[in-house]
Amino acid sequence: MASNAAMITITGVDGSRWTVAGQGRGQEGVELATSPSGLYDAPVSTIWNQTAFQIGSSFGGYRINKRDVVFAVNIFQTPGLAWESVDSAWRKAWAYDRDSTMTITTDYGTRALALRLSEQPDFKPEKDPHLKRWGKVVMTCIAGNPWWVESDVTSSWTSTIDTIGGAIQSGSLTVANPTDQPMWLKWVCSAPGKWTLPDFSWIAGDRDAARMVTLPLAARGQDLTVDTDPMEEMIVAADKSQFWALMNGVSFLYPVPPYTPSTSMPVKVTGAPTGASIMAVQQRNWSRPWGLQ
């Protein structure tokens, strides 16, 4: 089956939308020029260590860096808008301290990359663009988060009995990670209730292969958002209380590995009314704007 051209759009900090490649390209007066760089694999630096008399070096890991993206656009006048007006509108779509969004859609899905300017746009016209009604502008950008992000996927479970009197009800949710990157789950838990959540190591035979983490009892009005990513605040309560302090140092340890198929994961709740609910939010982060499925 023949593939369609990728459609690339830019959503500006001002809410404007520009189709720069693919179907409808240039309809706002801006189209992507040739040879963009930094859009493919996420940038990585490998680490190699060497002792004083060692022959060669030993692999010490790798670091995922910010993404530097450089691309040029052709800007031209459109019916009803002079070249200068289009050029000005395009510039107003970008900022140094706020993110614009580049979105790439192929036959297999849509992924987005948050970008902001890292230096001023470069413009070197050979002739006055007001006369040519065309100009080429080079955009130099940074993506602090280097991942191409697909829309989150969610799964949920709702209790069917009242557990306020001390009963415990078990349930399950389906989790999958089709991406090439580890996935840190987010959990959204209703309150009141005392929830027990999975934190599997995903290693067969490992002592943490079926690890579970029990949260403290949340009172009414303390609906919880639990982020297992160690770089984020672990627990945020709806009432803004420091609920995380009640964990006594217990934390979540494991992401869902890349290419994990659909898996049923157990949850438990007690101290909650009928209808208590929990949702697993599954982020989709990719190294590339397409492929790797």
pLDDT in tens, 45-68: 999 999 999 999 999 999 999 999
- State residue 148's pLDDT score: 97
Q: What is the DSSP track for the chain?
A: -PPPPPEEEEE-TTS-EEEEESTTTTTTSEEE-S--BS-SSPPEEEEEE--TT-SS-EEEEEEEPPEEEEEEEEEE-BTTB-HHHHHHHHHHT--SSS-EEEEEEETTEEEEEEEEESS--EE--SS-HHHHTEEEEEEEEEESS--EEEEEEEEEEE--S--TTS-EEEEEEEEEE-SSS-B--EEEE-SSBEEEEE-----TT-TTTT-EEEPPPBPTT--EEEE--TTS-SEEETT---GGGGGTT-----PBPTTEEEEEEEEEEES--TT-EEEEEEEEEESSSS---
The span from the CA of 231 to the CA of 107, in Å, is 33
User: In this model, does residue 276 exceed pLDDT 60?
Assistant: yes
> What are the phi and psi torsion angles at 259 (to 5°)?
60, 35
Tell me the C-alpha to C-alpha distance, in Å, between residue 292 and each of 144, 156, 238.
22, 27, 37
> What residues does CATH 2.40.30.200 cover in the chain?
7-146
- State residue 126's pLDDT score: 83
Assign domain 7-146 one CATH number from 2.40.30.200, 2.40.10.220, 3.40.640.10, 3.40.50.10490.
Answer: 2.40.30.200
- State residue 113's pLDDT score: 98
User: In this model, does residue 199 exceed pLDDT 60?
Assistant: yes
Q: Look up the CATH number of domain 151-286.
A: 2.60.120.860
Kindly state the average pLDDT of the residues 220-225: 94
First to last CA, the chain: 18
- State residue 288's pLDDT score: 95
Could you tell me the pLDDT band of residue 4, with boundaries at 50, 70 and 90? confident
Q: List pLDDT tens digits, range 200-216.
A: 999 999 999 999 999 99
- Please provide the average confidence, as pLDDT, over all residues in the chain: 94
Residue with tokens 């009800």: 169
- State residue 149's pLDDT score: 97
- State residue 55's pLDDT score: 95
The span from the CA of 262 to the CA of 176, in Å, is 4
Q: List pLDDT tens digits, range 113-164.
A: 999 999 999 998 888 888 888 899 999 999 999 999 999 999 999 999 999 9
> What residues does CATH 2.60.120.860 cover in the chain?
151-286
Q: List pLDDT tens digits, range 65-82.
A: 999 999 999 999 999 899
pTM across the whole model = 0.90
- State residue 94's pLDDT score: 98
- State residue 130's pLDDT score: 86
- State residue 2's pLDDT score: 54
Which of the residue ranges 1-10, 38-47, 217-226 would you say has the lowest mean pLDDT? 1-10
The span from the CA of 123 to the CA of 137, in Å, is 5
Q: List pLDDT tens digits, range 256-270.
A: 999 999 999 999 999
Kindly state the average pLDDT of the residues 190-201: 96
Q: Residue 211, exposed/middle/buried by CB under 10 A (0-12, 13-18, 19+)? A: middle
Q: What is the percent of the chain with per-residue pLDDT over 90, rounded to a whole number?
A: 89
